[in-house]
Each structure stands twice: as structure tokens, then as C-alpha cells.
Amino acid sequence: MRSQFVLGAVALGALLCLPAVTQAQDYRLPPTPSETGEGIELTPWLRAKPFVRHTSYYTTNVDQAPNRRKDDDFTFATHMGMDLRAENDEGDSWFEAGYTLTSLLYAENGRYDTFEHRARYDFQLTASKVTFCSNGRAAWTITNSDPQFAGRTRNFGGNIFAGVDWDPTDVFGFRVDGDVGQVENFPRQLEPINNYQWRGGAFAVIKPNVDFDLQFEFGGQLRGFDYYDKDATNPDIDAGGVLAGVRVGTEIIQFEARGGIEFAWVSSRRSFPRSSSVPDPFYGNMSLTFTPIQTLTITGFASHELRYSGNGFFQRATTFGGTVEQRIPVVEGLRVFASANYNLQDGKRGNNLRTQSYLGGIGWEIVEYVEIGTQATYIRSSSRSGGFETFTAGGSITLKL
């Protein structure tokens, strides 16, 4: 359970080079680049942003085990890292890179002590009518000793995304993008679910001549999910579909959506019954950022797609949620934030899994380089075979330059 939880925590998805929904801050995780401030100016075009964050929190169910077997504990999370950012004077081309070393230490369950190495980059280059963008994320996790797998466990998750936009006219253009990801588990028992995923798409883009940012996309994509271990039993599955998308941007609203119909097929059956087929589901995702006043930000997101799991052939996954952040004008640097998320995994030949998570917190940048915060989270997961509940509460301090 613990190794699967850690792997899930570092699973990384592609990020489009478009305005994206900002998730609610979580002090158990490293600070994002937007949280680390302006940094230190090394040259007129290069800045360094070192940071340290320490969070101590109490968890009622550290194993995410069924309630009758749950075990509580105190966890001490320390994140140390640095971000680098270089950009041109116009601000339309930049490069960012970051690294974070994380230690998770447990007061009583020392066998779960974990170390994580996280690396990332974000890149955009704009030249004339062409914009190229790319980003990547990777995490390497080492857990001291997991009793479920009789020793130390190691997990790797990574993803690289790239896209090119070409606008030969102010109204019409093209977009090509794609990503590839890999998940690898080093406990022998989990090797059969080691996998890689890939996706590529091509779209025609229409930008009507209006007073705000409006963009329509029409095209298609191919994607696949493949196991590469010889002992894998689940099938390799590929899918192709026709998609359409829209983007709307104003001073108050940033909205994006892309959806369509996919047709999936089995590229390697292994133990998948020949009498069974893969469903052809609706595929789509959307994100929304709403800023009705300068101090209030509301975000939302939703997605539905065919996914795959280690305990079933495939599953339809539906996820939606939102965040709210309110800055308090009467106290400089003070804000409150909250989020709620819901995920339904509708498995083929398996249990449906429903997971709800809620987070609420307060953050205060007491001086320019120091932020303190407190938060509480609640997670509830259920299926026909059982479920668990976890409540977490704690405080944090972040030092940044």
C-alpha cells in the first residue's frame, strides 16, 4: 500500500503550454515556482530562487489502511531545492529548471521513511509566427523499508511534453503537441505493471478577431499505454480519436476545454480474453480560472478518459474539483484557501473506486522571505471491497529568497 501511495503521489502528467488551473497550495509538497518569489538576480536575464520548506503534521491513517486497522503517526517533511529562470526582455521566451530533495520522516513508523528527488523544466521559445514549448517532470522515490515488499522500494515516474504553434495569419494556425511518460517500480512484485504512455495530436487553430483571447481547435490524437515487463498480464491498449477544443481568456476568466470521441483497440492481448473488446469512450478535459475581484481566485477542472490500472484490464476515470483562494486585504500577505476533489475509477472486471479529498488552510507571508501556514486535509476512499479515511493537520514554514 505504501509504495503504491508514494508512486501515486509522484505520478506526473503533461502540462499544456497554455494557462493552466492552479491547484490549491499543499504545504506537504514542495513550493511551486509561483510560490518562491522573485529570487536572486544573477544576471539581468537569469534569476535563482533557493528555498527550504519544513512541515510537521499529524495523520490518523498513515498506511491508508481500512479503518479497523488504521495507524496514526506524526510526519516531518523537509523540502530543499532551487529554481532557475531565464527570460528575454519581451517575456515571450523563457527557460525554467528546478530540483528538490525531499525527506519524509515518521515518528513511529520509521520503516516508511522516504527520500524523493524531483526535477523539472519548462521552456518556451517564440520566434516570428512560431512558438515552441516543452516541459518535463521526473521523480525518484526511495522508501527505507516497506514490509509489504520485504525491503527497500524504489519508484520512478516521469513525463515530457512538447508542442509547436504556427500562426501563418492572425486568424488561422496549426498546433502539434505530444507527450511521453514512464512509471517504473523496483519491488519485484510490482514489475509486471511497469509501463510507458505516449500521446500525439495535430490541430487546426482558428482565432476570431475579437477584443479578447478566443481560440478554437479541431483535430485528432493517438495515444497508447504499454507494459514492457515480460511478466505483465494486462493488455497493451492504443486509442485514436477526433477532438475539438476551445480557449477563452479575459481579465476575469481563463477557460480551456478539449474533448471528443476515441476508438480504442488492444495491441497486445496477453491474458485479455479474445471475446472481450475495449470500450470507445468520450474523452475530454477542461480547466477554469475565475477572478471576479483582485483578491479572490476560483478555479475548477474536470476530465474523463479511458485509463489503465494494475488490478484490472482498463477503467473509465472521471475526475473533477476546484479551489478557492481569498487574500485578506487588511493584513498584507495573509490568505485563506480551500479545495475539493472527486475521482471515480470505473473498472472493467474490478471494483469501482471513489475517492474524495478536501483541503483547507491559511498562509501568511510575514516578511518577504518567510511564509508560515497551517492546513487540514481529509481523504475518503471507498469500493465494494472496503475503503479508508485519513485526516491530516499540521503547520509549515517556508524560507525563500
* pLDDT tens over the chain, length 401 residues: 333 333 333 333 333 344 344 456 899 999 988 888 788 999 988 999 999 999 999 999 988 878 667 789 999 999 999 999 999 888 789 999 999 999 999 999 888 899 999 999 999 999 989 999 999 999 999 988 766 665 678 899 999 999 999 999 999 999 999 999 999 988 888 888 899 999 999 999 999 999 999 999 999 999 998 998 888 888 888 999 999 999 999 999 999 999 999 998 888 888 888 877 787 788 899 999 999 999 999 999 999 988 765 445 667 889 999 999 999 999 999 999 999 999 998 866 556 889 999 999 999 999 989 999 999 999 999 887 778 999 999 999 999 98
The DSSP element (H or E) to which 9 belongs, if any, is helix 2-10
d(CA 296, CA 224): 39
Measured in degrees and rounded to the nearest 5, phi and psi for residue 148 equal -65, -30
Residue 255 burial (CB count, 10 A): 17
Contact yes or no for 346/352 (Cβ under 8 A): yes
CA atoms within 13 A on the CB side of 271: 11
d(CA 130, CA 398): 39
d(CA 2, CA 10): 13
- CA nearest to 400, candidates 22, 14, 10, 30: 30
Three cell numbers written together for 312: 484490472
Three cell numbers written together for 99: 530540483
Measured in degrees and rounded to the nearest 5, phi and psi for residue 190 equal -100, -5
Angle at 148 between CA 141 and CA 196, to 5 degrees: 45
CA distances from 49 to 82, 279, 308 (A): 5, 47, 38
* 36: helix, strand or coil: coil
Q: Which pLDDT belongs to residue 275? A: 77
CA distances from 84 to 47, 156, 303 (A): 6, 23, 32
- Characterise 354 by phi-psi region: left (phi > 0), alpha (psi -120 to 50), beta (else): beta
Measured in degrees and rounded to the nearest 5, phi and psi for residue 6 equal -60, -45
Contact yes or no for 226/195 (Cβ under 8 A): yes
pTM above 0.75, yes or no: yes
d(CA 45, CA 40): 11
d(CA 311, CA 395): 36
Torsion of CA 19, 25, 30, 35, to 10 degrees: 60
- CA nearest to 391, candidates 400, 374, 383, 379: 379
d(CA 319, CA 230): 32
Residue 108 burial (CB count, 10 A): 11
Both ends of the chain: CA-CA distance in Å? 37
The DSSP element (H or E) to which 134 belongs, if any, is strand 130-146
d(CA 241, CA 264): 9
Contact yes or no for 303/285 (Cβ under 8 A): yes
**Alpha helices (H) in 58-160, listed in sequence order:** none
